[in-house]
Amino acid sequence: MKAMVLNGPNLPFERVERPDPAAGPGEAVARVITCGAGLTIQHVKAGRRKVQFPRIIGHEITGEIVEVGPGVRGLKVGDPVTTYFYLNCGHCRWCLQNLEPLCENSGGQVGLECDGAYAEYVKLPARNFIRLPEGLDHKKHPAEIGVVTDALATPYKVLRRARVNAGETVAVIGAGGGLGIHQVMMAKWARTRVIAVDTRASKFEACRKAGADAVVDASGGRVAEQLLELTQGRGVDVVIDYVSATATLEAGARALGRRGRLVTLGGSGKPFQALAADMLNKEQDLLGSRYVTRSEIVASLELVARGEVFPLVTVLRPLEEAEAVHDLVERGEVTGRAALQVA
Ligand SMILES: [Zn+2]
Protein backbone atom coordinates (compact mmCIF):
# COMPACT_ATOMS: atom_id res chain seq x y z
CA MET A 1 0.00 0.00 0.00
CA LYS A 2 0.91 3.63 -0.43
CA ALA A 3 1.65 5.53 2.81
CA MET A 4 2.99 8.91 3.89
CA VAL A 5 5.54 8.23 6.63
CA LEU A 6 7.27 10.51 9.13
CA ASN A 7 10.86 9.41 9.78
CA GLY A 8 11.62 11.87 12.56
CA PRO A 9 10.60 15.16 14.14
CA ASN A 10 10.54 18.16 11.80
CA LEU A 11 11.11 16.04 8.70
CA PRO A 12 8.92 16.05 5.60
CA PHE A 13 6.57 13.18 4.83
CA GLU A 14 8.08 10.40 2.76
CA ARG A 15 5.84 8.57 0.30
CA VAL A 16 6.61 4.87 0.66
CA GLU A 17 5.22 1.49 -0.33
CA ARG A 18 4.41 -0.72 2.65
CA PRO A 19 2.98 -4.25 2.72
CA ASP A 20 -0.81 -4.25 3.06
CA PRO A 21 -1.69 -4.85 6.73
CA ALA A 22 -3.32 -8.15 7.71
CA ALA A 23 -5.80 -8.37 10.59
CA GLY A 24 -4.68 -10.52 13.53
CA PRO A 25 -6.96 -11.78 16.32
CA GLY A 26 -9.19 -8.98 17.57
CA GLU A 27 -8.09 -6.62 14.81
CA ALA A 28 -9.64 -5.19 11.68
CA VAL A 29 -8.36 -3.43 8.59
CA ALA A 30 -10.10 -0.52 6.89
CA ARG A 31 -9.52 1.03 3.49
CA VAL A 32 -9.07 4.74 4.16
CA ILE A 33 -11.17 7.16 2.09
CA THR A 34 -10.27 10.43 3.83
CA CYS A 35 -8.30 11.40 6.94
CA GLY A 36 -8.42 14.70 8.83
CA ALA A 37 -5.27 16.77 9.33
CA GLY A 38 -5.45 18.72 12.58
CA LEU A 39 -3.10 20.40 15.02
CA THR A 40 -2.98 17.38 17.35
CA ILE A 41 -1.06 15.38 14.77
CA GLN A 42 0.86 18.38 13.45
CA HIS A 43 2.36 18.49 16.99
CA VAL A 44 3.86 15.05 16.19
CA LYS A 45 5.27 16.17 12.86
CA ALA A 46 6.74 19.32 14.41
CA GLY A 47 8.38 17.32 17.22
CA ARG A 48 6.29 18.91 20.00
CA ARG A 49 4.78 15.54 20.77
CA LYS A 50 7.24 12.64 21.20
CA VAL A 51 6.59 9.40 19.36
CA GLN A 52 8.62 6.47 18.04
CA PHE A 53 9.59 7.02 14.39
CA PRO A 54 9.02 5.99 11.67
CA ARG A 55 5.33 6.70 12.16
CA ILE A 56 2.19 6.98 10.05
CA ILE A 57 -0.05 9.62 11.65
CA GLY A 58 -3.77 10.28 11.17
CA HIS A 59 -6.91 9.26 13.04
CA GLU A 60 -9.94 11.21 11.79
CA ILE A 61 -11.01 8.79 9.09
CA THR A 62 -13.88 7.76 6.96
CA GLY A 63 -13.18 4.27 5.67
CA GLU A 64 -14.61 0.87 4.89
CA ILE A 65 -13.75 -2.40 6.58
CA VAL A 66 -11.92 -4.77 4.22
CA GLU A 67 -10.84 -7.49 6.67
CA VAL A 68 -11.73 -8.64 10.19
CA GLY A 69 -9.46 -10.90 12.25
CA PRO A 70 -10.40 -13.98 14.26
CA GLY A 71 -12.73 -13.35 17.20
CA VAL A 72 -14.02 -9.98 15.99
CA ARG A 73 -17.71 -9.37 16.47
CA GLY A 74 -19.85 -6.43 15.50
CA LEU A 75 -17.88 -5.49 12.38
CA LYS A 76 -17.99 -7.00 8.93
CA VAL A 77 -16.37 -6.41 5.56
CA GLY A 78 -17.95 -3.45 3.81
CA ASP A 79 -19.01 -1.60 6.98
CA PRO A 80 -18.44 2.17 6.75
CA VAL A 81 -16.41 3.26 9.77
CA THR A 82 -14.60 6.02 11.55
CA THR A 83 -11.93 5.61 14.23
CA TYR A 84 -11.72 6.07 17.98
CA PHE A 85 -8.50 7.98 18.73
CA TYR A 86 -7.43 6.44 22.05
CA LEU A 87 -6.09 2.91 22.53
CA ASN A 88 -7.81 1.89 25.76
CA CYS A 89 -7.96 -1.45 27.56
CA GLY A 90 -11.74 -1.93 27.67
CA HIS A 91 -11.77 -3.54 31.12
CA CYS A 92 -10.44 -1.13 33.78
CA ARG A 93 -12.81 0.71 36.11
CA TRP A 94 -12.85 3.80 33.85
CA CYS A 95 -13.46 1.86 30.64
CA LEU A 96 -16.25 -0.03 32.38
CA GLN A 97 -17.88 3.28 33.34
CA ASN A 98 -17.91 4.45 29.71
CA LEU A 99 -15.16 6.94 30.54
CA GLU A 100 -12.51 5.38 28.33
CA PRO A 101 -10.35 8.51 27.86
CA LEU A 102 -9.39 8.02 31.54
CA CYS A 103 -8.27 4.38 30.99
CA GLU A 104 -5.68 3.26 33.56
CA ASN A 105 -3.95 1.00 31.04
CA SER A 106 -3.96 3.33 28.07
CA GLY A 107 -1.91 2.16 25.13
CA GLY A 108 -1.68 5.70 23.78
CA GLN A 109 -3.31 7.04 20.67
CA VAL A 110 -3.90 5.98 17.07
CA GLY A 111 -1.27 7.51 14.82
CA LEU A 112 1.03 8.27 17.76
CA GLU A 113 1.68 4.99 19.59
CA CYS A 114 0.61 2.85 16.62
CA ASP A 115 0.42 3.61 12.91
CA GLY A 116 -2.57 5.62 11.77
CA ALA A 117 -4.34 6.43 8.56
CA TYR A 118 -2.14 8.50 6.23
CA ALA A 119 -2.11 5.35 4.10
CA GLU A 120 -4.38 3.30 1.86
CA TYR A 121 -5.17 0.91 4.71
CA VAL A 122 -5.17 1.14 8.50
CA LYS A 123 -5.09 -1.82 10.88
CA LEU A 124 -6.34 -1.30 14.43
CA PRO A 125 -7.87 -3.18 17.33
CA ALA A 126 -11.41 -3.82 16.08
CA ARG A 127 -12.90 -1.79 18.95
CA ASN A 128 -11.12 1.30 17.58
CA PHE A 129 -13.43 1.25 14.57
CA ILE A 130 -16.89 2.77 15.02
CA ARG A 131 -19.48 1.84 12.45
CA LEU A 132 -21.17 4.90 10.94
CA PRO A 133 -24.86 5.20 11.80
CA GLU A 134 -27.60 5.13 9.16
CA GLY A 135 -28.34 8.34 7.33
CA LEU A 136 -24.77 9.50 6.71
CA ASP A 137 -23.71 9.67 3.07
CA HIS A 138 -20.08 8.75 3.68
CA LYS A 139 -19.34 8.46 -0.03
CA LYS A 140 -20.55 11.99 -0.73
CA HIS A 141 -19.06 13.72 2.34
CA PRO A 142 -16.22 11.50 3.58
CA ALA A 143 -13.97 14.34 4.75
CA GLU A 144 -16.67 16.00 6.85
CA ILE A 145 -17.88 12.73 8.34
CA GLY A 146 -14.32 11.61 9.09
CA VAL A 147 -13.50 14.62 11.26
CA VAL A 148 -16.59 14.21 13.45
CA THR A 149 -14.70 11.71 15.61
CA ASP A 150 -12.52 14.49 17.05
CA ALA A 151 -13.29 17.96 15.67
CA LEU A 152 -17.02 17.77 16.33
CA ALA A 153 -17.29 15.12 19.06
CA THR A 154 -14.80 16.91 21.33
CA PRO A 155 -16.87 20.14 21.41
CA TYR A 156 -20.02 18.07 21.89
CA LYS A 157 -18.46 16.38 24.91
CA VAL A 158 -17.32 19.72 26.37
CA LEU A 159 -20.93 20.94 26.39
CA ARG A 160 -21.83 17.96 28.56
CA ARG A 161 -18.74 18.24 30.73
CA ALA A 162 -19.51 21.91 31.45
CA ARG A 163 -23.26 21.24 31.91
CA VAL A 164 -24.10 23.92 29.35
CA ASN A 165 -27.74 24.98 29.34
CA ALA A 166 -29.75 26.78 26.68
CA GLY A 167 -29.74 30.53 27.25
CA GLU A 168 -26.33 30.64 28.93
CA THR A 169 -23.38 32.66 27.66
CA VAL A 170 -20.42 30.61 26.42
CA ALA A 171 -17.03 32.11 25.55
CA VAL A 172 -14.71 30.05 23.34
CA ILE A 173 -11.02 30.99 23.57
CA GLY A 174 -9.14 30.00 20.40
CA ALA A 175 -12.44 30.08 18.52
CA GLY A 176 -10.75 30.40 15.13
CA GLY A 177 -8.92 27.07 15.46
CA GLY A 178 -10.04 23.74 14.03
CA LEU A 179 -11.67 22.62 17.28
CA GLY A 180 -12.60 26.13 18.41
CA ILE A 181 -14.78 26.87 15.41
CA HIS A 182 -16.62 23.60 15.87
CA GLN A 183 -17.10 24.52 19.54
CA VAL A 184 -18.72 27.77 18.40
CA MET A 185 -20.96 25.74 16.10
CA MET A 186 -21.90 23.25 18.84
CA ALA A 187 -22.48 25.97 21.46
CA LYS A 188 -24.86 27.67 19.03
CA TRP A 189 -26.55 24.32 18.41
CA ALA A 190 -27.03 24.14 22.21
CA ARG A 191 -28.90 27.48 22.00
CA THR A 192 -26.44 29.55 23.97
CA ARG A 193 -25.13 33.06 23.41
CA VAL A 194 -21.66 32.45 21.96
CA ILE A 195 -18.69 34.79 22.28
CA ALA A 196 -15.72 33.88 20.06
CA VAL A 197 -12.30 34.91 21.38
CA ASP A 198 -9.26 34.84 19.11
CA THR A 199 -6.16 36.85 18.26
CA ARG A 200 -6.55 36.44 14.49
CA ALA A 201 -8.96 38.95 12.95
CA SER A 202 -8.90 36.88 9.73
CA LYS A 203 -10.89 34.19 11.58
CA PHE A 204 -13.65 36.42 12.95
CA GLU A 205 -15.90 36.22 9.91
CA ALA A 206 -15.77 32.40 9.99
CA CYS A 207 -16.55 32.48 13.72
CA ARG A 208 -19.63 34.60 13.07
CA LYS A 209 -20.70 32.28 10.25
CA ALA A 210 -20.31 29.31 12.61
CA GLY A 211 -22.71 31.00 15.01
CA ALA A 212 -20.79 33.48 17.19
CA ASP A 213 -23.03 36.28 18.47
CA ALA A 214 -20.05 38.43 19.45
CA VAL A 215 -16.32 38.40 18.81
CA VAL A 216 -13.54 39.42 21.18
CA ASP A 217 -10.19 40.41 19.67
CA ALA A 218 -7.61 39.03 22.11
CA SER A 219 -4.61 40.42 20.25
CA GLY A 220 -4.40 43.41 22.60
CA GLY A 221 -5.02 41.45 25.82
CA ARG A 222 -7.92 42.64 28.01
CA VAL A 223 -9.83 39.41 27.36
CA ALA A 224 -11.48 39.22 30.79
CA GLU A 225 -12.39 42.92 30.66
CA GLN A 226 -14.01 42.57 27.24
CA LEU A 227 -15.97 39.49 28.34
CA LEU A 228 -17.20 41.32 31.44
CA GLU A 229 -18.23 44.31 29.31
CA LEU A 230 -20.19 42.02 26.99
CA THR A 231 -22.07 40.59 29.97
CA GLN A 232 -22.78 43.88 31.77
CA GLY A 233 -20.26 42.93 34.44
CA ARG A 234 -22.02 39.68 35.38
CA GLY A 235 -19.42 37.43 33.78
CA VAL A 236 -19.90 34.54 31.40
CA ASP A 237 -21.44 31.22 32.40
CA VAL A 238 -18.91 29.01 30.63
CA VAL A 239 -15.40 29.65 29.29
CA ILE A 240 -13.98 26.92 27.04
CA ASP A 241 -10.25 27.47 26.57
CA TYR A 242 -8.71 25.70 23.57
CA VAL A 243 -5.51 27.72 23.93
CA SER A 244 -5.09 26.97 27.64
CA ALA A 245 -1.97 29.06 28.08
CA THR A 246 -1.42 30.50 31.55
CA ALA A 247 -2.64 33.94 30.42
CA THR A 248 -5.80 32.68 28.69
CA LEU A 249 -6.77 30.44 31.60
CA GLU A 250 -6.32 33.32 34.05
CA ALA A 251 -8.36 35.63 31.82
CA GLY A 252 -11.03 32.95 31.52
CA ALA A 253 -11.19 32.45 35.28
CA ARG A 254 -11.51 36.23 35.87
CA ALA A 255 -14.33 36.44 33.31
CA LEU A 256 -16.52 33.82 35.01
CA GLY A 257 -19.76 34.82 36.67
CA ARG A 258 -21.66 33.14 39.48
CA ARG A 259 -21.84 29.37 38.97
CA GLY A 260 -19.37 29.88 36.12
CA ARG A 261 -17.43 26.94 34.66
CA LEU A 262 -13.97 27.11 33.09
CA VAL A 263 -12.95 24.19 30.87
CA THR A 264 -9.33 23.56 29.91
CA LEU A 265 -8.27 21.35 27.03
CA GLY A 266 -5.28 21.39 24.74
CA GLY A 267 -2.53 23.83 25.64
CA SER A 268 0.70 23.41 27.48
CA GLY A 269 -0.57 22.06 30.80
CA LYS A 270 1.29 24.81 32.70
CA PRO A 271 0.00 26.18 36.04
CA PHE A 272 -2.29 29.16 36.33
CA GLN A 273 -3.84 31.12 39.17
CA ALA A 274 -7.51 31.41 40.01
CA LEU A 275 -9.05 33.14 43.02
CA ALA A 276 -10.25 30.68 45.65
CA ALA A 277 -12.51 33.44 47.00
CA ASP A 278 -14.32 33.67 43.65
CA MET A 279 -14.54 29.88 43.39
CA LEU A 280 -16.15 29.81 46.82
CA ASN A 281 -18.31 32.94 46.80
CA LYS A 282 -19.50 32.49 43.23
CA GLU A 283 -19.57 28.68 43.33
CA GLN A 284 -17.39 28.33 40.27
CA ASP A 285 -15.98 25.14 38.73
CA LEU A 286 -12.60 24.62 37.11
CA LEU A 287 -12.81 21.61 34.79
CA GLY A 288 -10.60 19.56 32.50
CA SER A 289 -11.95 17.74 29.46
CA ARG A 290 -10.12 14.91 27.76
CA TYR A 291 -11.19 13.67 24.30
CA VAL A 292 -14.51 11.80 24.16
CA THR A 293 -16.20 8.47 24.71
CA ARG A 294 -17.37 6.22 21.89
CA SER A 295 -20.97 7.01 22.73
CA GLU A 296 -20.23 10.74 22.32
CA ILE A 297 -18.82 10.04 18.85
CA VAL A 298 -21.94 8.08 17.90
CA ALA A 299 -24.15 10.88 19.27
CA SER A 300 -22.18 13.46 17.27
CA LEU A 301 -22.43 11.37 14.09
CA GLU A 302 -26.17 11.11 14.63
CA LEU A 303 -26.45 14.90 14.93
CA VAL A 304 -24.76 15.17 11.54
CA ALA A 305 -26.98 12.42 10.09
CA ARG A 306 -30.05 14.37 11.23
CA GLY A 307 -28.72 17.54 9.61
CA GLU A 308 -28.49 19.50 12.88
CA VAL A 309 -24.82 20.42 12.44
CA PHE A 310 -22.27 19.85 9.72
CA PRO A 311 -18.48 19.87 10.10
CA LEU A 312 -16.47 22.57 8.38
CA VAL A 313 -13.75 21.18 6.10
CA THR A 314 -12.25 23.88 3.88
CA VAL A 315 -9.08 22.14 2.68
CA LEU A 316 -9.22 18.73 0.98
CA ARG A 317 -6.13 17.60 -0.91
CA PRO A 318 -4.74 14.25 -2.09
CA LEU A 319 -2.74 12.20 0.41
CA GLU A 320 0.47 12.96 -1.52
CA GLU A 321 0.02 16.65 -0.65
CA ALA A 322 0.16 16.03 3.11
CA GLU A 323 3.25 18.20 3.42
CA ALA A 324 1.56 21.27 1.96
CA VAL A 325 -1.55 20.70 4.07
CA HIS A 326 0.50 20.41 7.26
CA ASP A 327 2.28 23.66 6.38
CA LEU A 328 -1.14 25.34 6.35
CA VAL A 329 -2.07 23.71 9.67
CA GLU A 330 1.22 24.79 11.27
CA ARG A 331 0.71 28.38 10.15
CA GLY A 332 -2.88 28.42 11.44
CA GLU A 333 -4.17 29.19 7.95
CA VAL A 334 -6.88 26.53 7.81
CA THR A 335 -10.41 27.62 8.66
CA GLY A 336 -12.18 24.68 10.27
CA ARG A 337 -10.50 21.39 9.40
CA ALA A 338 -8.20 20.20 6.65
CA ALA A 339 -8.36 16.63 5.33
CA LEU A 340 -6.54 14.35 2.94
CA GLN A 341 -8.24 12.35 0.21
CA VAL A 342 -6.76 8.86 0.20
CA ALA A 343 -9.09 6.88 -2.07
ZN1 LIG B 1 -9.18 0.88 30.57
Q: What is the pLDDT of residues 319-328, one digit of tens each?
A: 999 999 999 9
Alpha helices (runs of H) in 91-131, residue ranges in sequence order: 93-96
Mean pLDDT of 194-219: 97
Residue 70, pLDDT score: 98
Ligand 1 centroid distance, CA of 94 (Å)? 6
Ligand 1 centroid distance, CA of 188 (Å)? 33
Ligand 1 centroid distance, CA of 69 (Å)? 22
pLDDT band at residue 269 using 50, 70 and 90 as cut-offs: confident
Mean pLDDT of 277-287: 98
* In the predicted structure, residue 186 carries a pLDDT above the cut 90: yes
Ligand 1 centroid distance, CA of 106 (Å)? 6
Mean pLDDT of 143-167: 97
* In the predicted structure, residue 296 carries a pLDDT above the cut 90: yes
Mean pLDDT taken over the chain: 97
Ligand 1 centroid distance, CA of 99 (Å)? 9
Do the Cβ atoms of 17 and 84 come closer than 8 Å? no
Ligand 1 centroid distance, CA of 127 (Å)? 12
Ligand 1 centroid distance, CA of 61 (Å)? 23
Ligand 1 centroid distance, CA of 311 (Å)? 29
* In the predicted structure, residue 267 carries a pLDDT above the cut 90: no
User: Cα–Cα distance between 92 and 165 in angstroms, integer?
Assistant: 32
Q: Where are the domains of the chain?
A: 2-152+292-341, 163-288
Residue 231, pLDDT score: 98
Do the Cβ atoms of 87 and 125 come closer than 8 Å? yes
pTM: predicted TM-score of the whole model, two decimal places = 0.96
Do the Cβ atoms of 226 and 171 come closer than 8 Å? no
Q: Which amino acid is at 11?
A: L
Helix (H) or strand (E) holding 251: helix 246-254
User: Cα–Cα distance between 315 and 335 in angstroms, integer?
Assistant: 8
Ligand 1 centroid distance, CA of 177 (Å)? 30
Do the Cβ atoms of 285 and 262 come closer than 8 Å? yes
Ligand 1 centroid distance, CA of 107 (Å)? 9
* 3-class DSSP assignment, residue 109: strand
Ligand 1 centroid distance, CA of 75 (Å)? 21
* In the predicted structure, residue 51 carries a pLDDT above the cut 90: yes
Ligand 1 centroid distance, CA of 59 (Å)? 20
Ligand 1 centroid distance, CA of 293 (Å)? 12
Ligand 1 centroid distance, CA of 100 (Å)? 6
Ligand 1 centroid distance, CA of 21 (Å)? 26
Ligand 1 centroid distance, CA of 294 (Å)? 13
Ligand 1 centroid distance, CA of 84 (Å)? 14
Residue 215, pLDDT score: 98
* In the predicted structure, residue 213 carries a pLDDT above the cut 90: yes
Mean pLDDT of 205-218: 98
Q: Percent of the chain scored above 70 by pLDDT? A: 100
Q: Options 3.40.50.10150, 3.40.50.620, 1.20.1290.10, 3.90.180.10; which CATH number does 2-152+292-341 get?
A: 3.90.180.10
Ligand 1 centroid distance, CA of 288 (Å)? 19
- Other Cβ atoms closer than 10 A to 14: 12
pLDDT band at residue 246 using 50, 70 and 90 as cut-offs: very high
Ligand 1 centroid distance, CA of 86 (Å)? 10
Ligand 1 centroid distance, CA of 91 (Å)? 5
CATH number of 163-288: 3.40.50.720
pLDDT band at residue 266 using 50, 70 and 90 as cut-offs: confident
The 10s digit of each residue's pLDDT in 56-112 is 999 999 999 999 999 999 999 999 999 999 999 999 999 999 999 999 999 999 999
The helix-helix angle for 223-230 and 246-254 (nearest 10°) equals 30
Ligand 1 centroid distance, CA of 96 (Å)? 7
- Other Cβ atoms closer than 10 A to 219: 10
User: Cα–Cα distance between 11 and 258 in angstroms, integer?
Assistant: 48
Ligand 1 centroid distance, CA of 141 (Å)? 33
Ligand 1 centroid distance, CA of 98 (Å)? 9
User: Cα–Cα distance between 36 and 83 in angstroms, integer?
Assistant: 11
